[in-house]
Chains A and B, each alone.
Chain A
């Protein structure tokens, strides 16, 4: 074994810099930890043969005695893998790409040889490990002992020869017809931390975590793909080879993954993003021919993302952004990779539904939270998915407004223009429906350990989005914008954790805000405040004895002072979680009174004297979207039956027509 010295590493870095074509335009270079030089070819049967040279620089305080390598494609090796076992019990995306009887649909990955750059063969020590669930059949993670530890500051270079096969596209990697998305396809190092490797098995409900580095990738593909190959970074050259092949050479700096795509049917659309104060970006849109009508909508949405996220959080620092429009049924839509993302559109795509705009802006947003901040998605998925979903909805609302309800009837979309589905209604509704039935885990529980896919998705996407929206509405838009900007700029390319985020919240928004956020993160319970009692009556004097001694008199109260009323309001906290709220009292003369309530007690009673009380309501401005039942948030002193009457009259009519329609089903000709 010959560990690379810092001097040699510097020489390697200098050589690599000569090839670098994608320098960061919006910040200094990131010290590379794991850099890859890969030469791989993919045959017509989607088999892959590759060789990679990995340069690992230990920038931690830990001495690494082995290597941890992900072999993600083994998630689809057989149905005993942790990924497929979790999916079978509802843990992942409901993909149906795999069928047991067709071997072409399964995938695998095998390392044939792993050796140090001095030729020391490490292959015999390779063993599959399952630190997360002890599954002996899972082959998505391997450990390879080293003859000598890699000390802090040292650089190690090793080579891997491997073969793999892409599955029929599932969970955003693989092939469908002549389309290929190569993702999670090469043996990849875990993340070096001061506590050793942070490396997990491939789980169906969570995504990835990797160190930054530089990638130099040469791919050999069928010649039919020439001119229609996209990948992370910059395409340096394409060369046609004998035997009906094409070779594509990509380079990328300061990224933590590499993905590529190819399809002979891609329309290649090029555009440039430019906006004041932000670096220019070349956009490459790889569009399916049946989605040509979506071309301009894709480009506009990409630019919306670049500008909105660039202004609010971090400018996009790379020179090229590749947007992939996947084919129908590919199961690759909606996934992010460094400098490349896969969006997704339908042939019939009414504008009112904001699709593909929604997925395009969202996947672009990952370029910030996944691409540049690069948190640990195995353990803290919310730092990417939730933060990005919140930011996506803000960007969409600003650029497009609220969408209308669109329902597909037998594949044909019908727009109900009069029914608005305001952001973030969909998130709110989905989250509370899950919370009503499960609430199995708090967000603080490592994502891959949460009960099932619903728990992971609800916490990572939904609860986080509602938490951030509630923060923005409760602590103020300007304050919250500063929190997010500070967090993003301070921790770009530094793998921030939830603790880092909370520290920023405390610094910018204050200790109370940080405590509120931390409280939500650590409880699986819901927020639910309710007005449980509202009473108002005309003020009157006392009935009984008053005065003392000789002044003691017996009085019977006279009602008549109808200008002044005594009112009592009880507000209770039914949920386990706590959030600061406001209680608004509305009086008959139109005046209102607002009282803040930290919300920590189980109940609070207010006694009011003044005009007749009409209603009391907790959080009428809906600042706290975590409250799962807003029907109990308010109460009137007197009933107002107008709405229920109006709606019951309509419902009766539709019930009549529904029953009339039912009579047609089996009793033709009957009225």
Chain B
């Protein structure tokens, strides 16, 4: 197997990520704290609504009327979740049929409840992740002390500014792509004037696919720029972006394959948990501990997959910089020449 094949690079990336296990745990703690703050209003509303209500017993039953309770809660406490229609439109594409927002960012920040705070928490989570990414990039670019939390912290601080700038550029780029590639292309035709529904769905999926390709490319540019910074040991943003672009133009296929592979690795544990993961019934504390451990393991695996992608990119850059492996030395046997 070639040393820069996708599988080898992916394995190397994952192993690099595992070497930074302390930093991964730190990232998990950060994620957990943010999630606690984010979900707190909803959790508090649930306690308020349920603990002294006969609904508690109904929701603890086998055939819990979830959908009805969701309706009742969102009606009685519209302040908790706020207006979810914009998120719904982005997630389902249905808003596009009804004339979705021209500016994809508009409306989210002004929304009330969790719907509004989600946008703020998204930026906060992403900013935190960018700082962590600087640390990971630095460690993956270094040959030693990959497991050192102190070295990780130093790298995170050193690359924080360029990494945040890269992240901001990526965010703006992806939002712009959403608007100009997906939303604006939808204004070129009227779906309901097409003869068949499948034509409308196909066009919708093509537009979505085009946006995802552009978004994936932007993500890759940022990913490889971070990896390049880490390998160079300098926060030279322009140089890193140039190196990233140049690298991706020459090796788009393997970079995309790694993107897809690590994307799948990141989502897989979530799907597995969603379908087979245990659910706590709210009774025994011991069971809760097991469930929480399992949940955190899932999140940790996802974090490791993301970090592993950066590790793979770093390794990929390293392989490219080293150039092709030297040809084996040609050894020709000859008769020993007697020394004079």
Contacts and interface: CB of A to CB of B under 8 A. Distances in A.
Nearest to B75: A432
A104 to B, nearest CB: 12
Contact of B283 (A94, A96, A642, A658): A642
B322 interface: no
B183 to A, nearest CB: 13
A656 B279 CA distance: 16
A331 interface: yes
Given A648-B43, A659-B121, A663-B126, A670 B280 contact: no
Given A421-B67, A655-B39, A329 B60 contact: no
Nearest to A631: B76
Consensus secondary structure, chain B interface: helix
Nearest to A435: B75
Interface in A156-180: 176-177
Of the listed residues B27, B35, B76, B220, the one surrounded by the most CB atoms of chain A closer than 10 A to its CB is B35
Contacts of B282: 641-647, 649
A665 B126 contact: yes
Contact of B288 (A411, A641, A649, A671): A649
A670 B306 contact: yes
Contact of B279 (A631, A640, A646): A646
A404 to B, nearest CB: 10
Contacts of A425: 67-68, 71
Of the listed residues B54, B133, B171, B174, the one surrounded by the most CB atoms of chain A closer than 10 A to its CB is B54
B6 interface: no
Interface stretch (B142-150, B193-201, B245-253, B323-331): B193-201
A44 interface: no
A503 B168 CA distance: 69
Nearest to B57: A640
Contacts of A634: 53-55
A328 B168 CA distance: 41
Given A329-B192, A410-B205, A651-B42, A631 B72 contact: yes
Contacts of B39: 648, 651-652, 655
A668 B281 contact: no
Contacts of A428: 71
Interface range for A: 35 or more
A654 to B, nearest CB: 8
A290 interface: yes
Interface string B292-312: 100100110011101101100
A405 B304 CA distance: 34
A272 interface: no
A208 B192 CA distance: 26
Contacts of A408: 92-94
Contact of A347 (B137, B196, B291, B304): B196
A328 B194 contact: yes
B60 to A, nearest CB: 5
Interface in A617-633: 617, 620, 628-633
A97 B192 CA distance: 9
A549 interface: no
Contact of A665 (B174, B298, B302): B174
Interface string A299-336: 00000000000000000000000000001111100000
A660 B50 contact: no
A618 to B, nearest CB: 10
B47 interface: yes
A96 B190 CA distance: 9
A615 interface: yes
Contacts of B34: 659
B306 A659 contact: no
A651 B123 CA distance: 20
Interface in A397-417: 405, 407-412
Given A642-B282, A659-B121, A663-B125, A409 B35 contact: no
Nearest to B190: A96
B219 interface: yes
B222 interface: yes
A663 B56 CA distance: 34
B43 A670 contact: no
A131 B219 CA distance: 62
B132 A640 contact: no
A422 interface: yes
Nearest to B209: A410
A487 B133 CA distance: 72
A664 B219 contact: yes
B98 interface: yes
Contacts of B91: 409
Interface of A: 94, 96-97, 176-177, 290, 327-331, 346-348, 405, 407-412, 419-422, 425, 428-429, 432-433, 436, 615, 617, 620, 628-636, 639-653, 655-660, 662-671
28 contacts: A97-B192, A290-B197, A290-B198, A330-B192, A346-B197, A407-B92, A411-B205, A425-B68, A630-B55, A631-B73, A639-B52, A640-B52, A641-B56, A644-B46, A649-B288, A650-B280, A651-B39, A652-B43, A656-B35, A659-B38, A665-B171, A666-B167, A666-B172, A667-B167, A667-B222, A669-B137, A670-B163, A671-B136
